Structure 1
Amino acid sequence: MYMSHSIGILRAYVNALVYFKNIESSIFSLQSNSRIEAYSKHAKIYIGKFVFIRKHTSIRVDQHGELRIEDKVFINDNCHINCAHRISIGRLTKIAPHVSINDHDHNYKHLTGDHLIKGEVIIGENVWIGSNVVILRDTFIGDNAVIAAGSVVKGHVPANTVFLNKREKSYIPYAN
């Protein structure tokens, strides 16, 4: 166990060196097959103390994106964080396996010249995010909130609440 933690800290250090102009960090752990990628010299990544990122997690920051992960955040296996504008994850937040966090959508309607529609994702402190959750752009999750497994989250989740996404089939047509 101690060896895997040591190797994770070493992997994090190597990532911080590779992206030294993009990453500001303290001690954190990046387990096997996880990666942090900054796809622009303008991308900014802040990783606080004692952040633990498990296996097979992908963190990607594009363009002028700003990703901020505060102290003692735990990110479990197979999570994906895609940042093109701004994502903030508050301290003591726990993220279960297979969670996807995106601050942008693809502009499939082509209403503007940009190929992405950008927003923000702000996750408060001490938040628990269950397995297989998808968090979409323009989402604010308050402190101490719990996001139930399998939920799709967009909009405002008040502090000290449990968010449960009940699903019903619906179809929304759109014109090309």
Structure 2
Amino acid sequence: MKKIKHIFKFLKNTLITNYIYLSKDIVLGRKVFFKQMPYILKHKNAIIEIGDNTIINSSNYGYHINMFSRCKLYADRENALIKIGENCRIHGTCIHAYNKIEIGRNCLIAANTQIIDGNGHNLCMDEPEKRLISSDIGKEIIIGKNVWIGANTIILGGSVVGEGSIIMAGSVVKGIVKPKCIYGGNPAKLIKKYD
């Protein structure tokens, strides 16, 4: 019975993947695989690209921690770009680009991570009531190759995460993360550097 359930889930996920290949206005590499249906939202002139052999996982089945929601890929402005490299594993994560979010190859992104390059609203410190009607333009996020991002992390606009780095679970990243380092906390700070 367990084997039949596993086969059914695989077939269902294969149908979802084929549906996205055929019907969505996104650029998919070879052997991209979707576990359960993600939310995919984009402006007609925005671009979402996903590299070869990447898995976008929106299913709690077989995943080691609880994810609170499906993956969301949201490129909501004209010319916004979400570019995900090859051989990535992305679980229950929101990637929301006003401007540009680029994720290098071989990245691991754990569940409930929020990667968003804009604040949603401008600060409007002189006239705070204008926050309700303002909209931020976003500052690009670049995540280098071979990066591991722990669960429940937030990556904010203007951040650059260096190649081979690890971001500890529950961290809030704003700014530069040096390559081959471990960062953690809120705000995320250098924990350990590797040569």
The two structures have a TM-score, normalised by structure 1, of 0.84
| Runs of 4+ residues deviating >3 angstroms | 1-7, 110-114
Change (3 A) 1:160 1:25: same
Aligned counterparts of 1:110 and 1:120: Cα–Cα separation in 2:
21
Q: Which moved more, 1:106-115 or 1:152-161?
A: 106-115
> What is residue 75 of structure 2 aligned with on the other side?
61
Residue pair 1:9, 1:28 contacting (<8 A) in 2 also? no
Aligned: 1:149 with 2:153 = no
Candidates 4, 9, 16, aligned match of 1:4: 9
Name the amino acid aligned to 1:59: L
- Select the structure that is richer in helix: 2
Question: Among 107, 114, 133, which residue is 1:100 paired with?
Answer: 114
Q: Secondary structure at the match of 2:174?
A: strand
Unaligned runs of 5+ in 2: 1-5, 59-69, 188-195
Deviations 1:22-78 (A, max 9, x none): x1112211121422221x1111011111110111111111112101001010011x2
| Superposition map of 1:13-32 within 5 A | 13-20=18-25, 23-26=26-29, 27-32=31-36
Q: How does 1:22-171 map onto structure 2 within 5 Å?
A: 23-26=26-29, 27-38=31-42, 40-55=43-58, 56-63=70-77, 64-76=79-91, 78-110=92-124, 115-165=135-185
Structure 1: gaps (5+ residues): 168-176
The 10-residue stretch of structure 1 (158-167 or 94-103) with the greater mean CA deviation from structure 2:
158-167
Larger Rg: 2
Task: Give the superposed CA RMSD.
Answer: 2.1
What letter is aligned with 2:41?
E
TM-score (norm 2): 0.76
Distance 1:131 1:119 in 2: 23
Alpha carbons of structure 1 residues 67 and 166: separation in structure 2 relative to 1, 3 Å: closer
* Residues paired across the two proteins, number: 163
Question: Alignment identity in percent?
Answer: 28
Q: Amino acid of the residue matched to residue 36 of structure 1?
A: I
**How far apart are the structure 2 equivalents of 1:153 and 1:13?**
35
CA contact (8 A) 2:173 2:186 kept: no
